[in-house]
Amino acid sequence: MQVRYWVVILITGCWWPLCKAEPLQLVTLQYPPYIYAQNGQPQGVAVDLVEQAFADLGVAIEIRILPWARAISLIEHGQSDAIFTAFKTPERERFADYSREVLFTQSISLVQRAGPPIDWRQQGKTLSVCRVNDVSYGATMDQLMQQQHFAQVYSSNSAYQCMQMLRSARVDLWVNNEYGARVLLQHGKLQHGKLQQRLHIQQPAVQSTPSYIAFSKKRQLTDIRDRFDQALAAMKRDGRYQSLVDKAARAAGQQLNDTVH
Burial class (CB in 10 A: 0-12, 13-18, 19+), 168: exposed
13: amino acid identity, one letter: G
Query: What mean pLDDT is predicted for residues 75-87?
Result: 96
Band of the pLDDT at 128, cuts 50, 70, 90?
very high
Q: How far is CA 56 from CA 11, 29, 142, 197, 224, in A?
A: 10, 24, 35, 43, 12
Contact partners, residue 157, CB within 8 Å, separation at least 6: 2, 30, 67, 132, 133
Task: Identify how many contiguous H helices and E strands the chain contains and give both numbers.
Answer: 9, 13
Q: Could you tell me the domains of the chain?
A: 5-104+210-252 (3.40.190.10), 107-208 (3.40.190.10)
pLDDT at 158: 87
Total-model pTM: 0.66
Say if residue 21's pLDDT is above 80.
no
Residues 148-160 have a mean pLDDT of: 94
Among the listed ranges 111-120, 182-191, 227-236, which one has the minimum average pLDDT value?
182-191
In this prediction, residue 257 carries a pLDDT of: 45
Q: What is the largest CA-CA distance in the chain?
A: 58
Percent of the chain, pLDDT > 70? 83
